[in-house]
A and B are shown apart, each in its own frame.
Chain A
Amino acid sequence: MRPDIEASPKTGSLSGFLAELLAEQRVLDTPVSRFSRAHDMQAPDGSVTRFSELIPLSQPDVDEQYAFQVDLDSCTGCKACVAGCHALNGLDEDETWRDVGLLVSDDAAHPFQQTITTACHHCADPACLNGCPVLAYEKDPVTGIVRHLDDQCIGCQYCVLKCPYDVPKYSERLGIVRKCDMCHGRLTVGEAPACAQACPTRAISIVKIPVIRRNGDPIGTPSTFLPCAPDPAITQPTTRYVTSKPFPSSLRRADANALTVQCAHTPLAAMLVLTQLGIGLQVASSVAITREFTATSIATTGYTLFVAGLVASVAHLGQPLRAWRIFLNLRRSWLSREAVVFGVVMVVSGSHLAATWGILPIAPLLANGSLIVLGTAAIACSAMIYVDTQRQFWSPAWTFGKFLSTAAISAMSVLHPLAASGALLMKLAAEGTHLLPSNRPESPMSLSARLLRGPLLTTFLVRIGLGFAAAVLLATDNLRTGFALFAIGEFVERTFFFRAVSAPGMPGLPKR
């Protein structure tokens, strides 16, 4: 045997060997040296693999558009479509444009499971497009693909709330949303979309489907869509889920019982409360003389709160410098309308304030009563933003009730504190009914109730406590503290307005 290294240390040679190995570990072949090998591995005819058998041979006709087709019988749950889309589109590490979920059966006699792969449904009547205030969505007139203009997007995320299928994904890095564009760049060169290419069982393909048009605008597709998915009547999704097997009657989404606390959207919650409090105070100052405050101080406070609310709303945007385009979608988006009406309110109430200060020598631009009309309109626009998402927790009654009562109680607190106190108690009582279970265990309102009884209980109790304290203080004429507690309570209420909503989406995986 050779002498042991320990017996005659050769540390010099060992460290030299170590250095050699460490250096070698860092050396990679360059592409030039790889090229010959890569060349050998190409198709014999040098062709490019485009999987073009998975897409139509020709463009859609006038009454057609492109749509994803998913053959559920072939989809066996490998989920390669999600990862393939991610890699072939170069998405961020935490970004996926395709998702997978699961439909299961509750019936012991009928075992069943079906993976559901889902991406943008390129709806005939896209809610994202309708809601986007800056027209950052376009529906391609030929292909029907709903495309997102990334450099147009202001990062308001209203499309995230509007889409019933949870498709647009917000990127913190970019401050915008991004979403599936059906790989329109690939389709243009006759190549299948990434997800279709990646499916080992060829379950995903692109088909042409008929679209019903009225005056040139697509208004619907004759589609049955998918059980346990959000109502297709809202946006007319075009994806075709086809299967030869009947679904069991006791079908359930695997994530049906999952409790997901939604994003609090703190700047939006602050914006809603501040603008509503501000409008309330300004209206109060414009219509009546108050007991212990001057109209000027009330109007000033109200205007300050209102402007602070607008500032908060800008803080919500991922790309605030692009926000000047926000008026572009007045035709369809309540967010555009809200922005414009808020602008008018700011000017009118500003001139009103200037008049009360005596800065403006002329009378207020409009009669004082106009502030009531404009303020109500502004708050109604705010409410409609949420009502338009068709979520039950944001129903017209609840949303208008919550928003308008914030303004009304704010106004009453300086006009008639006792009435304000009473109204606040009624509001708290109404909110308390959120906790009551609904008849249908998996209804959206029931999920909201479970969220408020579960993970959001502390927040909810804080809100009730603050509201109750505010009511007591207002009733006992401690107006400043009472108003402050009332305002904070409303803010807390507005955070769970966002956090406790049941957000619709396609079926998901089992989730705690």
Chain B
Amino acid sequence: MPQIFPAYANTVARAAILGAVALGCLGIGLLVALPATSHVTRQDIIVEQPVQFSHEHHVGGLGIDCRYCHTSVEQSRYAGIPPTHTCMTCHSQLWTNAEILAPVRRSLAEGVPIRWQRVHALPDYVYFDHSVHVTNGVGCSTCHGAINRMPQVRQVAPLTMGWCLDCHRNPAPNLRPASEIYNMEWRPPADQRERGGRLLEHYGIRSEHLSDCSRCHR
């Protein structure tokens, strides 16, 4: 009986088996790694906006408080995107003819809203509430990063459920006193461990129940 397979068939078979295993591992590795990449989390992606509004200039340079524009951050789920009118309180006096502000002036003149591109998007089944976070010691920069140094806002944190839970399970390292909530340059002091414990007590936070499903999902 003649040989059906040539001599190199063994090598091919071994290579194929190894290759399949390697491919499988690669696939699984990809599946595990992909959700953490910025392709999925949209971390650090700069989004083109209708107006090139610079937080670096307005917050870092001019020192405008977050709540001047994001007015509802202490009352509502949403921090609030300012109406065109808010922009024009200053820009009807300053830079009144600047080319960059043409869409803002047009919006006010025509009564058509500016359509901003969303940067921080949570899935619809997450019911995140800004107000309870800022009134319980979580500062803006904890999630949004140093906005005062961003010419274009990008998403600093991955905003994955695991990332949320890291803090919900152990909020103490991220808590700050009420006076520092809107301070973009706040850094945990050296004795944050001790301060965090006191702040947990101060805000009445019961971290053992913060990871209940019904806290964020309904």
Do chains A and B stick together as partners?
no
- Residues of chain A touching chain B, judged by Cβ–Cβ distance below 8 Å, are none
- Residues of chain B touching chain A, judged by Cβ–Cβ distance below 8 Å, are none
